[in-house]
Amino acid sequence: MSLRLDGKNALITGGASGIGRATAIRFAQEGANVCVADRQAAAAETVAAEVRKLGRKACAVTVDVSNPAQVQAMVDGAARELGGIDIVLAAAGVSAANYGEGQIQPKFLNELPFEEWRKVLSINLDGVFLTCQAVARKMIEQGRGGRIIAISSGAAKIPLKGSGDYCVSKAGVWMLMKVMALELGRYGITANAIGPGVIDTPMTKDIQASRQLERMIRRTPVGRIGRPEDVANTALFLASEEGSYFSGSILHPDGGVIMQ
């Protein structure tokens, strides 16, 4: 039986950990070559090494996705190293402006400093736009179609008090994919979003350290927190031939939370 992504080339931002890392490994297991892009250079190279152990080509790129010049260099480098780009997963993101710098404190929008709002939007939404725009141009130039996939969130549909910047950024990602689906379909390019629930990643460590996690699990019909592999498998479906008739959609690997 042939592998589902045999011979395909994938670029993954936020690929050094969590959902991005799990997807890089899953794609490689199914035959894809992978460029792992992240702000954390050493961690990105570690994931690229894991991809190579699976017998695929891999490269690691250090990038700030909110920087247009760095994003363009990332896309050009990935295409050069892998021989083109067939799939992109835009997974780089933050849960708050001080993500990775200490405990996150929820802030209502009327209290949120503009610079914090801009930082979250610049990474979560501008970064996805810049990445997917540059990849779309490359895919059109290549003339062989492609798959654009972006990580949104269940928070694109369910508002969360104290996380308005995050919610708005993720809702924007979903709309961005819908507009791209309309505009890029004629080139054989699909565009879809994934809206995970609570997933066991570094981004949710604050939730997992509090009683909030227990409440979320009680609200989840399947009765557990999600695994990065749950989201990676969703991305695999959208990237593979089985997902070829999906475009402009948002899929929710969330254990059933969003339906309530």
Each of the 260 residues of the chain gets a pLDDT tens digit; together they read 689 999 999 999 999 999 999 999 999 999 999 999 999 999 999 999 999 999 999 999 999 999 999 999 999 999 999 999 999 999 999 988 988 776 788 899 999 999 999 999 999 999 999 999 999 999 999 999 999 999 999 999 999 999 999 999 999 999 999 999 999 999 999 999 999 998 988 776 766 666 677 787 888 899 998 999 999 999 999 999 999 999 999 999 999 988 87
Q: Is 128 helix (H, G, I), strand (E, B) or coil?
A: helix
The residue from 99, 166, 187, 245 that is catalytic is 166
Residue 32's identity, in one-letter code, is A
Q: Which CATH superfamily is domain 9-201+228-253 in?
A: NAD(P)-binding Rossmann-like Domain (3.40.50.720)
Confirm whether 245 is a catalytic residue: no
**Is 176 exposed, middle or buried, given 0-12, 13-18 or 19+ CB atoms closer than 10 A?**
buried
DSSP code of residue 107: B
**What global pTM score does this model have?**
0.95
Task: Give the residue among 238, 256, 175 at the shortest CA–CA distance from 27.
Answer: 238
